Structure 1
């Protein structure tokens, strides 16, 4: 399970919560193991006249005390282990989102939005289950199995115990084989979930376009196809997962038949008491749960392993230094003046043979307004992407004065640039928040002045909420011109 080594830092910081949770879980397991023994003693005393009512009452109170203890400590392990799993979910989501913020623009050309959303939702959810509920089931299964077997061997005839435990190795081998199948198929399920999410996201974003061209039926078919692929992959996964419960029941029934057959004979021969027989069946019933839990553990663990592998692939993507993370020892960009020089710039987008820019050399004098014109696809937008350092040229360099752009920290350089993209994006927030997006500390007067300069102030004033009007996702409540 080396895929989970990425989370070692989280486990170190949360080890106290995990230890308290596991400790509470072990107490619950121990109390559960006491109950069958107490029931066995209660049965023997009940069938052995004269009946000692005081002793029977004592056993009943102990059983009730065990039940109360189980309830209290079960609450504690749920709080500490399952609660910590939700903290893990937050930690991993923050870690992944922060990493995505530091990836270069070229990364987003290779990965679709739906795929990334699948990583941030379904994959993280699978990891949470693997390291939350799966931990509970694993500890519970190991402890209950070990202690139940110990009690069986020490309190009941060992020969009967050996016969009853014969199916366990066969069950373990079956689980191991099924686990690898779950891992492989869950990878496929998550890939198809990402494709389905991408299809849905594209349709929501392009809803007006789809309706304008009356393409609803075509898009329904396309989405239905992605849903069908996701469903089919899930069915393929459940063909394996569905074998767990039947296998557990099958081997449990075999153990039960062995116990009833041989145990009944031993009771009739006087080798064990009826109370021992009752206790033995109680322990055997307890063993059924660990066997069932083992199936769930393998299912959750293999799903989490597959998802963590997908997340690790993202976390291993090479990042660019985040703005301001590595400040330059040289003077900041704001202190540097001079002309802007582009020398032999050559750039090609990943996966394309033709160069978007080839050996471009240009000087832009300081203080002069310069317009860049050209045919569609001539590289105008690409040039500005290089100036903003969304991408790095494969050849050539850009200088401010005599200083290369690469020597500036990204934050210093980008703060000097006012950027207005041709495909403007509007956030689902207020008009004021959208105007102040690049200057969060802007005052109301500064926001109003910006709107006035854009000739939007009168239209905004006419809206019911003014600058506090919520514009909806991608500015859906605004007209095309207002957007």
Structure 2
């Protein structure tokens, strides 16, 4: 998976990668040439007292060093450009792919792990790409070139290379093989930290209300301790690797000086050759050390790539139509919503959440859905904008199956106010414009007035430009609901879906809002899910759900007189006199 991600996302940077390879090739050749020049200065210049030779070869060394510096800077620049661009493109692709997920796939992964995979995991892969361009491309050239140049200086000491390089490879392989499982566990424990932290921040009011700070601190400490233990074990292995490599390097250098010194004393080689051989040994082992740094990063990047690939290979269960069908041009026709024999079953579930649901939402008429908790009300509502797809039957908008409508066109016709209204960080204006980009102030104030939100927005510092915190945490639950309703109203869709969107409102505000909605939705379909009977009793059409089945349809008076399930719901909230 790591190879595939690198190949796919580095293709646009092939020119930069080619430049890195060429620059590192020149840099490495220059580096390998320097010890040879140094040996000639020592043996042909210093030993012979030839100043002209020293000056000439010294000038060549200076020029070669300059080439080495320039190519090193160029290689790092192009390598950084390609690696950071790769990381940016991979994050963009991952984010765009997650945006295509239905509620099913989002629930399958969960927000904490998707955040970790888009940030931390991509960062690990990007670091490996950068290390590859900075060190790893140079390492094999340095290794092979160093061996060749060392043999040119003296073949008699080559046995030291034959011993040192395999020993170093065995040490690195033993450590890296033990690190891979720890890296896999580490990424999962980072997910756990994110999950616990996200829950505690989002649920801080609940935590404080039930005085559970100590319990939550213990939960976080447990997740933190688990990550600490894994990181400590991984760090211990990494700490073991570098001393082991340095031990091999130092023993090898000592061996070269010891046995090389004897060869110099015997006249088998010159001092300059010994110096050059020692430099080439250092280059060879340095190449192995650079590869070691890669080996430290590589296992974690492999795990991260697998996690990123898992997201990218997950296809959404809500697929766009192969041949999209346009909705009718007539505004009232496209506002007609119909469910025919709808069934929905979660993957692996023993029974369906919804079975044989039939209902029609006519333009200019409010259709309400009521039922006990768990009866499938919200699930039914989510089938209309294709947050889930039906597993049986059809959902029709304007007589066209919603699965045959292009998703952008479908979503542009629907204004959804979810059960948990979410506001984005920004201002009141930016949140309302989320549903209606480019809407004027008059339109926004009108939407706020209908949603019974104008009064408190005018009282906020800045009015439409008043700041809104992430999630809308700086406004009350009722204000958050009214701003979410105003956002849907500003978009002026053909179908309004209210998922228990009036639950945080007092009865007076609820009644005023419902009255103000009537003229605004005269040509639109309105589907309301509610728990409170007072919210839906005046609806023209009420659908009663029980265990995923429609057990009654009609007006409030009709259902109150003939439907036992509806009667039970009504009398649990209102007295017989109030219900009448």
Are residue 343 (structure 1) and residue 327 (structure 2) matched?
no
**Contact (CA 8 Å) 2:17, 2:79: kept in 1 or not?**
yes
Shift of 1:351: 5.7
Does structure 1 conserve the Cα–Cα contact (< 8 Å) formed by 2:83 and 2:127?
yes
Mapped contact 2:172–2:292 kept (Cα < 8 A)? yes
Stretches of structure 2 lacking an aligned partner (at least 5 in a row) = 481-580
Equivalent pairs, count? 478
Deviates more, 1:186-195 or 1:134-143: 134-143
User: Hey, what's the Cα distance between the residues in 2 that align with 1:415 and 1:139?
Assistant: 50
Q: Which residue of 2 aligns with 1:34?
A: 33
Corresponding residue for 1:428? 425
Q: Offset at 1:352?
A: 4.7
Partner residue in 2 for 1:75: 73
Quote the offset at 1:326 in angstroms. 5.1
CA distance in 1, matches of 2:212, 2:66: 62
The answer to whether structure 1 residue 457 and structure 2 residue 457 are counterparts is no
What is the SS of the residue equivalent to 2:479? coil
For 1:33-81, what per-residue CA distance to the aligned partner results, in whole angstroms no more than 9, with x for missing partners? Answer: 12222222222245424x2223222333333333332222211111101
Which residue is equivalent to 1:132?
Answer: 130
Point out the structure with the larger strand share: 2
How far apart are the structure 1 equivalents of 2:206 and 2:325? 50
Q: Give yes or no for contact 1:164–1:256 (8 Å, CA) kept in 2.
A: no
Q: Classify 1:268/1:347 alpha carbon distance in 2 versus 1 (closer, same or farther; 3 Å).
A: same
Change (3 A) 1:361 1:481: closer
- Cα distance change on mapping 1:460 and 1:368 into 2, 3 Å: closer
Decide which of 457, 464, 469 is 2:466's aligned counterpart.
469
Shift in CA distance, 287/271, structure 1 to aligned 2, threshold 3 Å: same
Measured against aligned partners, the alpha-carbon deviations of 1:330-354 in whole angstroms (never above 9, x if no partner) come to: 3325555485332332223346545
Which residue number in structure 2 is paired with residue 97 of structure 1? 95
8 Å CA contact retained: 2:324, 2:405: no
Give the match for residue 110 of structure 1.
Answer: 108
Query: With structure 2 as the length reference, what TM-score do the two structures score?
Result: 0.78
The secondary structure found in structure 2 opposite 1:132 is: helix
Corresponding residue of 2:239: 242
Deviation of the 1:364 alpha carbon: 3.4
* Structure 2 match to 1:142: 140
Could you say which residue in structure 1 is the equivalent of 2:327? Answer: 332
After TM superposition, the structure 1 stretch with the greater mean CA deviation from structure 2, 129-138 or 379-388, is: 129-138
| Aligned-partner Cα distance in 2 for 1:220–1:337 | 53
Paired position in structure 2 for 1:265:
262
Deviations along 1:231-273, one digit per CA (max 9) or x if unpaired, are 1122232343333213312322332232122211110010101
Q: 1:251/1:434 Cα in 2 relative to 1: closer, same or farther (>3 Å)?
A: same
Match of residue 517 from structure 2? none
Rounded to whole Å, the distance in 1 between the matches of 2:43 and 2:274 is: 10
Aligned residue for 1:343, secondary structure, equals strand
The verdict on how the C-alpha distance between 1:135 and 1:183 changes in structure 2, with shifts beyond 3 A counting, is farther
Q: Which residue of 2 aligns with 1:317?
A: 314
Do the aligned residues in 1 keep the contact of 2:321 with 2:404 (CA within 8 Å)? no
Q: Which has the higher contact order (CA 8 A, sep 6+)?
A: 1
Alpha-carbon shift at residue 5 of structure 1 (Å): 1.2
| Separation in structure 1 between the aligned mates of residue 329 and residue 262 of structure 2, nearest angstrom | 93
Higher deviation after alignment, 393-402 or 107-116 = 393-402
Q: Partners of 2:32 and 2:316 in 1: how far apart?
A: 52
Distance in 2 of aligned mates of 1:252 and 1:372: 76
Structure 1: 5+ residue stretches without partners: none
Q: Is the 8 Å Cα contact of residues 46 and 56 (structure 1) preserved in structure 2?
A: yes
TM-score by length of 1: 0.93
Root-mean-square deviation (CA), in Å? 2.2
Distance 2:100 2:329 in 1: 23
Kindly indicate whether the alpha-carbon contact (under 8 Å) linking 2:325 and 2:400 is maintained by their aligned counterparts in 1. Answer: no
Q: Is the 8 A contact 1:333 1:416 kept in 2?
A: no
